[in-house]
Homo-oligomer: A and B are copies of this chain.
Amino acid sequence: MERRLNLEDVGRRAGVSRSTVSRVVNGGHVSSETKRRVEAVIAETGYRPHAAARSLASNSTGVIGLVIPSAAGTLFDDPYFGRLILGISSATNEVDMTLALFLFGDGPDERSIISRVVTPGLVDGVIVTATTRGDPLIDHMQGTNMPFVVVGRPDNAGSTFCVDVDNRAGARTAALHLAGLGCRRPALIAAPSNTTAGVDRRSGFLEGLAEAGLSVEDRIVEGDWSQESGRRAMDRLLAERPDAVFVASDRMAVGALRAIREAGLNCPGDISVVSFDGIVPPDLTAPQLTSVVQPVTEVGERAVRLLTTVIAGASTPEHVVFPTELAVRESCGATPTAEPEA
């Protein structure tokens, strides 16, 4: 097993010092003549700088971490995280960094992995997906001096960098849309109230309803994001004879659609449904879901860019929130529009 080529070796072959080689590798000032010679040697030897050595000397690793808690089971049943990872990964490639993934459940391993995330010299910064309210992970991160941004809206983060979508406004739009269609007895299948997204979507919807002079009264059931919970929720709701329902997530909406069908009712004929996410492929359901679509991939990309600024030293917390778009399809009973409404 031969020793790995290092800067010194390359320098020797090119007749220059290791510093010069380092300069051509990192784009420093080098005469074009020597530069050419060094590059030739690098090309023919296939030299690649040693990442760990570089990290140690430069105090920067070139890797960013993505932390997703309670990844356990449900995680990838929902396309949400997949999309987010895609966005983050592509942005990460773009800036020539590498992505480290930290998934963890609720086991005792949590503590250990949580501390691995902030190991010095491992990552330059991390993106934390915070879905639950009062997330202890956020508190923990604030106690360290590891740069981080959170995806979502943590309620216990006085001042952190974060990127989120406007859940409240999106849900409000859904309410207004339903009201505009003439619904009289709206219902709500809410997302868990221990998540900020759940809270925001609920209050946004109620707000929109109020503006239109409507109210859900007791036609409101809380699901747990799962399709099955959506189905059960709709089942319960059906007894109240709602003429429209806003479901706080696509997945739960798929379940709701099923409950409606199984009850022998028709959507949108008997009941309109509007969901949130816009992440389930339209073709997957019949009728196609009208939903408030959130730009998940963009959120991921933005999070990476934001994180790079934090790593670079940005210190005044920035909150970026993306708008959502109502994609009108079949399930609400309106005539689908080519252009999504705002």
Interface pair B86/A103, CB less than 8 Å apart: yes
**Please, what's the 1-or-0 string for A30-64, where 1 marks a CB less than 8 Å from any CB in chain B?**
00000000000000000011111111100001010
For residue A145, give the distance in angstroms from its CB to the closest CB of chain B: 8
Q: Which residues of B contact A55 (CB under 8 A)?
A: 51-52, 55, 121
- A115 within 8 Å of B (CB atoms): yes
- A85 within 8 Å of B (CB atoms): yes
Interface pair B120/A51, CB less than 8 Å apart: yes
**Please, what's the 1-or-0 string for A128-151, where 1 marks a CB less than 8 Å from any CB in chain B?**
000000000000000000000000
Residue of A50, A52, A81, A254 with most partner-chain B CB within 10 A: A52
Interface pair B4/A120, CB less than 8 Å apart: yes
Interface pair A86/B75, CB less than 8 Å apart: yes
- A79 within 8 Å of B (CB atoms): yes
- A100 within 8 Å of B (CB atoms): yes
- A283 within 8 Å of B (CB atoms): yes
Q: Which residue of B lies closest to A54 (CB)?
A: B121
**Known contacts A121-B50, A281-B77; A109 and B86 CB within 8 A of each other:** no
Q: Which residues of B contact A77 (CB under 8 A)?
A: 79, 82, 281
Interface pair B48/A115, CB less than 8 Å apart: yes
**Known contacts A98-B116, A118-B48; A103 and B82 CB within 8 A of each other:** no
User: What is the interface size of chain A, counting residues whose CB is below 8 A from a CB of the partner?
Assistant: 51
For residue A282, give the distance in angstroms from its CB to the closest CB of chain B: 11
Interface pair A100/B102, CB less than 8 Å apart: no
Q: Which of A92-135 contact B (CB under 8 A)?
A: 93-94, 96, 98-105, 109, 112-113, 115-116, 118-122
Interface pair B85/A76, CB less than 8 Å apart: yes
Q: Which residues of B contact A76 (CB under 8 A)?
A: 76, 79, 82-83, 85-86
**Known contacts A98-B102, A283-B227; A75 and B71 CB within 8 A of each other:** no
Q: Which residues of B contact A115 (CB under 8 A)?
A: 48
With A and B bound together, what is the CA distance between A228 and B282 in angstroms? 11
Q: Which residues of B contact A98 (CB under 8 A)?
A: 100, 102, 116, 122
For residue A7, give the distance in angstroms from its CB to the closest CB of chain B: 12
With A and B bound together, what is the CA distance between A32 and B113 in angstroms? 27
With A and B bound together, what is the CA distance between A55 and B53 in angstroms? 8
Q: Which residue of B lies closest to A143 (CB)?
A: B46
- A291 within 8 Å of B (CB atoms): no
For residue A252, give the distance in angstroms from its CB to the closest CB of chain B: 13
Known: A53-B56, A71-B86, A228-B283. 17 other contacts (CB 8 A): A48-B115, A48-B119, A50-B119, A50-B120, A51-B61, A51-B122, A52-B52, A71-B89, A76-B76, A82-B82, A86-B103, A89-B101, A89-B103, A90-B105, A98-B100, A98-B116, A227-B283
Ranked 3 nearest A-B pairs via Cβ: A76-B82, A52-B55, A52-B121
17 A-B residue contacts at CB 8 Å?
A49-B120, A51-B55, A51-B61, A51-B119, A51-B120, A52-B52, A52-B53, A52-B61, A52-B121, A82-B82, A86-B103, A89-B103, A90-B103, A90-B105, A93-B103, A93-B112, A98-B100
